[in-house]
Structure formats: C-alpha cells, structure tokens
Structure 1
Amino acid sequence: MPRKPVAVLVTLLLALAGAGLCVLAGTPLPWMMGPLLATACASVAGAPTAGWRPLGNAGQWIIGTALGLYFTPQVTALVGSLWWAIGLAIAWALGLGWFFGGWLHRVNAAHMPEVAAPKMRATSYFAGAIGGASEMTLLAERAHARTDLVAASHSLRLLLVTVTIPFAMQFSGLHGLDLNPPVLRAVHGPGLALLALATAAGAWLMHRLGRANPWFMGPLLAAMGLTMGGISLSGIPSWLSNAAQLLIAVGLGVRFSRAFLYAAPRWMASVVLGTLGMLAVSAGFAWLLAQTTGLPLATLILGTSPGGIAEMAITAKVLQLGVPVVTAFQVCRLVAVLVLVAPLYRWLYPDASDAETG
C-alpha cells in the first residue's frame, strides 16, 4: 500500500473533480485533461498530492488493451504498408531530439557553470531525446547526467504536448482516419474477463523480460495478437477507459512540485520554447508525410508529435483520429529511441562519453 493512502485518495478525488469540470466545459479529452491540470496545479501550489504506482500501471494496462483491439487484419495490412513512413518518422524523431538537446545545451551551458561540461552535454542530450521520461532518466543516470533536469524536461514536454494538441485538434476541425471495429462497441462479461487474463499475462511476461513500459506494451501486444488472429472477446467499457485516462493523468500530474519550477527557471523556460518549436516543425513534417501517404493530416500529427505514446494514442482514441496508425508510429518510435539513443550519444560525443567513464 502507499505510504500516504489519504493523500492518494484526496488526489484521486481532486482528479475526478477536474474531470467533471472539463466534462461540463466540453473540453477535449476531459478524463485526461481535467485530472492532469488539476493534479499538476495542486502539486505546484504545494498541496500534498500523491500517486500510487499500481494504479498508474492499471491505467496503462487498460489503455494498452483498448488500443490493441483496433488491430484487425485489415487495419494491420494498412499499417504494414506504411513501413517506409514509419521509418522516416523514426529518423525524424531521432534528429529532432538531437536538435532539441543541442538547443538546451546552447541556451543553458554558459549559465550553469556548476555543471561540468561532459555532464551538461549528457544532461542536454538525454533531456532532448523524444522518449519516455523514466527510460531517458535511467539512461541519463548511466551517463552521469543531471537526472533531475532530465526528468523535469520530459515531464514538462509531456504536459505541454498533452494539453496543446487536443485543443488544437478540436478547434482546427481536422479529421483523422476513423477505424472502429465492431468489437470496440460490444462488451461481454466473460469475454472481458478472458481478455483481462490474457493481457495481464502479456504484462507479466514483458515485466519478467525487463522490457520498457511492460504494463502498456504487454497488454497492447497481447490484445493485438488476439485481434489480428480474428479473436474478438470483448470491447472495453467506456467508464473503464475513462478511469484509465484519469489514472494515467494523475501519474503525470503528481510529478510536478513548486521546487520543480523554481530549481532551474532558465532550463524550464528553454524546455517550453523548444517544445513549442518541436510541435510546429513536427506539424510541418506530418504535412509532408500526408502529401505522400494520402493519410489524414490529423492522424500523422499525432503519430509524429513529440508526445508520449499513451497520451497521443488516447487522443486518437477519444477524438477518433486513427488509433492504429498513431499507435504504430508511436510504438515503433519508442522502441527505436530506446535501442538507438544511447549508442548514438557515444558516437556523436565520444569525448564526453570518455570523460564520464574515465
């Protein structure tokens, strides 16, 4: 159990109130947007907010399962035909992260003399990489970087992208690739129980193998395998999907604190400006892909945006903007970044790497 069960319960009630306000206001993604903003603002204000990792894992499990149900054989064939576009998106993400890291280093290195040059290079590089916050922080720790700045950069980037893109999609009127298999609308109790067991086994296996995001990737792959094989057990109830969004949002919102913003204001300001710049140029890259693939621009913006896989896939799911394509782009990018970002660092900055290990 969590150390502060009362704080966890109060945080969940606050998140639920935030979701209710966003539902009444008609904002996009109310069950993610409301809890995220409510818990983040409360945390920055100094309130004793708290999360509980098993609840966040449960949210990842449910969303991973729900997304996997979109991958019917017909949809899988469509995604497979886009392998070249996914490859370009991976190269784009690696290059964009490198430029973002270079921007952070250029703006902050001279103003943080207390951080040694090799450590500053590693901090900027892993803070700029377009990957998961926990994974990039772990890689940064191995490179002897400032893990607090790396974690802060990724948390703030995810918050900005998660808040900005849904509003932009809703107000722009862009439409995506709406592929909703019938199984998504049919909920069967026994089938849902079997689906839960199968996807839980997938999460357990990924955890045992030490893979990244096991509570998301395991259920996603298990549900994909069943759906691609033509096995339709059950859809996911809408209330369960909403609860999962709330739990994921709370896990992100409680990362923030008052010290989080005041520790390195210049660093945080450069992260904000850099993230907004990445959103703009990524939209341009998505437009180029849309011209060559014929896919809707909204779908490709989500697929190539510098956001988190769960957050962007949820956006695609709720706004019906092409879940399978967005998920495929984001999953392939995540795997490629996790595999390549550390070797690329050693190749790009051999002097910094040698200084850290020596």
Structure 2
Amino acid sequence: MSRPPFARIAGTLALAVAAGALAQALGLPLPWMLGPLFATAALSMAGVPLAAAPLLRNLGQWVIGVALGLYFTPEVLRTIASLMPALVAGVAWALVMGYAFYRLLWATAGRPTGGGRATAFFAAAIGGASEMAVLAERHGARVDRVAAAHSLRVLLVVSLIPFGLQAVGLRGLDATPPAVSGVDALGLVVLVAATLAGVMAARALRLPNAWVLGALAVTIALAASGRAGSALPPGASEAGQLCIGVALGTRFSPAFAREAPGWLGTVALGTLAMIAASAAFAWLLARLAGLHPATVLLGTSPGGIAEMCITAKVLQLGVPVVTAFHVIRYVAVLLLTGPLYGWIERRAAREA
C-alpha cells in the first residue's frame, strides 16, 4: 500500500486542530481528543479522504506514555503496591466482561452472520485492537469485524464516560502531582532520548504497543528514582491527544456503517451494558479498596489504555492508579486471551 499523500495528512491535521479548538470553546471534556475524533470519524464515514500518518500516531502514543509515567513517584508506587488485590480484581473483571460479551455476540450476531466463534470471541476481548486482530487472524476469524467491533467499542467508551463524569461534576478529585512540573532544556533532552531508547528496545523485543509501554516504563523508572529532570513542554499533552483522536477517527470508513448492521448494533448494545456493569463494579471495588469510584471506573471500563488514562489525566482522577489498572490488565489479557480461546474451542468440541 502506498503511503497517504502529504496533502491529505496536512489537511486532516488542520481539520483536527480546528475541531479541537471548537470542542475546547464548547467546554467538552477531553476537547483535543474528542473534537478531532468526532470530526474525523464523521467525515471519514461520509467519504472524505482523510489520512493519519503512522508516525504522528506513534508520537502521540509516546507523548501519552511519557506524560503518564511522570506521575509515578516512589510514594505513588508504594500506594499502587498496596492496591494489588484491587488491580487483580480489575483483570478478573475484564475477563468476565469479555466472556459475557462473547456469549452475547455469538448468540445474537455471530451465528446468523457466519462470523464464527473466533470472530465473536476476539471481537469481545477487552484488549488492544491491533493485538486482538492479530490473534483473530491466527485463528481464522473475520479480522474486519473484529477491528470494527473494537473501534466502535472504544469510540463509545471514550465518548460516553468523559461526558458522564463531567456532567455529574467529577473532576479534580484525585489530582496526583507529577514528579516534576517545570521544563528544563537539558533534562528534556535526556528524557526524550531515554524514552525513545525504551521504545526502540520494546520494538526490538516485539512488545505490543511499544510506543506507549516503552516510553511509560522508562519514564516510571526515571520518576521513581528522582531522575526525571523535566516535564514535557506546554501543549505536548494536547498534541498527543490530537494524534490519538485522529488515529481513532480515521479508522472509520463509508463501509463501516453499511457492513453487518446487526453485528455493529449488537456491539453497541453490549458496550453500553458493559459500561453500566463497570459503573456498578467500580462502586463496589472502590468501597473495598478505599478509592474513588470515578477512578476505579476509568481503570476498569472497557476502554483503551491510552484513551482512559488521558481521561484520568485531563479530569485529574487518579492518573497513576488508572494507568496501573490498564497496564496490568493489558498485559494479562494479552497473555490469557489465546489460551482461553483454546479452552473454549476444546469445550465446544466435546459438547458437539
């Protein structure tokens, strides 16, 4: 496939900046992510030839990884260690949600459309979209439907939860300060070089989501050791949000809404049910763990790691705790999804 032309990328970015500025003027939550996301998704589905550069998407993920890692001071790490039972409960909740969602898709949309058990299972898993698509292809599933399901799920979660939290006035309840707040030129050079080296190491090891996790791991190490010599410059977080929003929005195409409306309708209903169930689970787990329910909701909702952690950062709702929930869940789901599907296939074969 040829690379998208520069003019389309530049035009898409100009549109995203305008949409972000408008969303900010309207007082929307996460304006620099949701504004570009809504604008690019709507125009892409209308057939406007937008384009997202992979490099900009990767840089956006790197910015988010660094920005989140700066919150992990030694005190925060000790707090997170004491919350390990809650973090494990978050992993179990993600697996339960994914299995229930799979049963819904298989019963109502998987069989009639011929998507197959693998398609329903990997479309329902609460994990990274690209990683689940790779596993789906390995097991002979419909990769297009798996990708569409994850895109729609993340779109709904990213849209509804920030609006809901802002509507009820839940923001600034756990404003954990980062390890460093000022910008130092030399410290920034060291931070950029070290985190990019972490990204390259993660890519060399073929780790998933290397631009987020590689930058996050190195920044956590620097912040925890007191060697994070600089914060990111003003506007960097907003630029990262914009790149993430554009990357999500341009996934949608004119064929997205037309193809398998029954499948997408079931995905939408299942996602709404998971958001409601996650709110109830967050309330219960928050009482047991001594956390705020909004923080736990962001940590256990069926959204993506970058999007939910950005939400926590912008709304100041326990950034390091939300990040810990998602990183641990991300790794656990990635490791367990394949074996769980193998168990389900063997069970189905025995029943047949």
Q: TM-score, normalised by structure 2?
A: 0.96
Q: Determine whether 1:11 maps to 2:7.
A: no
**1:45-64 equivalence runs, <5 A:** 45-64=46-65
Equivalent position of 1:321 in the other structure: 317
**1:1-358 equivalence runs, <5 A:** 2-112=3-113, 115=114, 120-175=116-171, 176-181=173-178, 183=180, 185-350=181-346
| C-alpha distance in structure 2 between counterparts of 1:30 and 1:76, whole Å | 30
Moved over 4 A (4+): 351-354
Task: Give 1:174 deviation, angstroms.
Answer: 2.4
| C-alpha distance in structure 2 between counterparts of 1:259 and 1:42, whole Å | 13
RMSD (CA atoms): 1.4
Is the Cα contact below 8 Å between 2:69 and 2:220 reproduced in 1? yes
Is the Cα contact below 8 Å between 1:130 and 1:337 reproduced in 2? yes
Task: Give 1:193 deviation, angstroms.
Answer: 1.1
User: For 2:235, what is the secondary structure of its paired residue?
Assistant: helix
Paired AA for residue 11 in structure 1:
T
Once the two structures are superposed, residues 2-30 of structure 1 have per-residue CA deviations (whole angstroms, 9 ceiling, x without a partner) of 33111111111111111011011011111
Once the two structures are superposed, residues 172-225 of structure 1 have per-residue CA deviations (whole angstroms, 9 ceiling, x without a partner) of 122442211351x21111111110000000000000000000000000000000
Structure 2 residues without counterparts, runs of 5 or longer: none
Sort the Cα spacing of 1:206 and 1:182 in 2 relative to 1 into closer, same or farther, 3 A: closer
Is the Cα contact below 8 Å between 1:16 and 1:35 reproduced in 2? yes
| C-alpha distance in structure 2 between counterparts of 1:222 and 1:37, whole Å | 32
Once the two structures are superposed, residues 26-73 of structure 1 have per-residue CA deviations (whole angstroms, 9 ceiling, x without a partner) of 111110010000100010110001111111000000110110000000
Is the Cα contact below 8 Å between 1:59 and 1:245 reproduced in 2? yes
Once the two structures are superposed, residues 90-110 of structure 1 have per-residue CA deviations (whole angstroms, 9 ceiling, x without a partner) of 011011001101101111134
Is the Cα contact below 8 Å between 2:179 and 2:226 reproduced in 1? no
How many residues are paired up?
348
Paired AA for residue 233 in structure 2:
P
User: For 1:349, what is the secondary structure of its paired residue?
Assistant: helix
Is the Cα contact below 8 Å between 1:174 and 1:297 reproduced in 2? no
Paired AA for residue 309 in structure 1:
I
Sort the Cα spacing of 1:322 and 1:248 in 2 relative to 1 into closer, same or farther, 3 A: same
Is the Cα contact below 8 Å between 1:346 and 1:353 reproduced in 2? no
Is the Cα contact below 8 Å between 1:303 and 1:329 reproduced in 2? yes
Task: Give 1:331 deviation, angstroms.
Answer: 0.4
Sort the Cα spacing of 1:101 and 1:171 in 2 relative to 1 into closer, same or farther, 3 A: same
User: For 1:338, what is the secondary structure of its paired residue?
Assistant: helix
Structure 1 residues without counterparts, runs of 5 or longer: none
| C-alpha distance in structure 2 between counterparts of 1:226 and 1:258, whole Å | 45
| C-alpha distance in structure 2 between counterparts of 1:65 and 1:159, whole Å | 23
Paired AA for residue 238 in structure 2:
N
- Percent identity reads 51
Once the two structures are superposed, residues 136-159 of structure 1 have per-residue CA deviations (whole angstroms, 9 ceiling, x without a partner) of 000000000000000000000000
Task: Give 1:111 deviation, angstroms.
Answer: 2.5
Sort the Cα spacing of 1:110 and 1:63 in 2 relative to 1 into closer, same or farther, 3 A: closer
Deviating more after overlay: 167-176 vs 267-276: 167-176
| C-alpha distance in structure 2 between counterparts of 1:308 and 1:332, whole Å | 13
Paired AA for residue 260 in structure 2:
A
